[in-house]
Structure 1
Amino acid sequence: MHFRRERRNGVVVSLQETLEAGKEDSALTLSDVLQDGFCMEDSCEQQDEARRLRQLIEGLPARERKLTQLETAQLLQISRSYVSRLETHALDQLRKGWLQESPGE
């Protein structure tokens, strides 16, 4: 309950903050109870990359981001091979956008 109260107050909580103290003065910290192998930095990077990818996809024209090739071809009354070329073009745009906006470069 301590964390809920602190979260409402907007206070930053440290990973080394004591959750409860043991009988032998051994304190249990938040970092002790986090899942093994969990790396907050990796998680944040993945979330950031997913956000960037969604933004890039949303920037594509509607016909380049919806439906399967066959559905798109039928809907637009064009050949599936032309849809394939449009898809390749859209993926190239995404790749270029991804490389241009890479953080730290």
Structure 2
Amino acid sequence: MRIANELRMHLRHTRREGTPLSLQEPLESHANDSGTLTLADVLPDNAAMEEDCEQRDLAVRLRQLVKALPQRDARILAMRYGLDGEKEQTQQEVARRLGISRSYVSRIEKRALYALRVQWKQQGTRIP
């Protein structure tokens, strides 16, 4: 009777804690298969996830700054850099679509990028 109780206690303890796993243990075992997946291969990498979240946060902040620009400046940046579903275009293509000179597109683009840089620095964010 005492042995049965000890076994039950051990099983409860094992169930509660689970069985230890090795990150290098194959998930599927096939004979002569040296390319099997391990637990380490499929677990998410927290560092990569954090970096992805940080990049998304920076992208959101950048979009907000672009939206705060004058409408023409924001539109030219969207056309030049493929923002808001636009296709990346050359200064010449943007000029043709807007009916202005290429040099004027260049001036507007430089002014808009400078304004973004200033706002970005004022927010205390380092430029990647």
TM over 0.5: yes
Identity %: 49
TM score, norm. by length of structure 1 = 0.57
Aligned twin of 2:65: 56
**One-letter amino acid of the structure 1 residue matched with residue 68 of structure 2:** G
Residues 63 and 72 in structure 1, CA contact (< 8 A), matched pair in contact too? no
Question: Alignment length, in residue pairs?
Answer: 78
What is the RMSD computed on CA atoms of the aligned residues? 2.8
Larger radius of gyration: 2
Distance 1:27 1:96 in 2: 51
1:75 CA displacement: 4.0
TM score, norm. by length of structure 2 = 0.48
Residues 72 and 83 in structure 1, CA contact (< 8 A), matched pair in contact too? yes
Residues 14-49 of structure 1: per-residue CA shift (max 9 Å, x gap): xxxxxx822xxx269xxx76324x314323322211
Match for 2:56 among 24, 43, 47? 47
Aligned twin of 1:91: 113
Return 5+ residue gaps in structure 2 as ranges: 1-16, 23-39, 80-88
Aligned twin of 2:102: 80
Off by >3 Å, runs of 4+ in structure 1: none
Distance 1:52 1:34 in 2: 30
Match for 1:34 among 43, 55, 59? 43
Structure with the largest fraction of strand:
1
> Structure 2 vs 1, CA of residues 74 and 47 (structure 1 numbering), >3 Å: closer, same or farther?
same
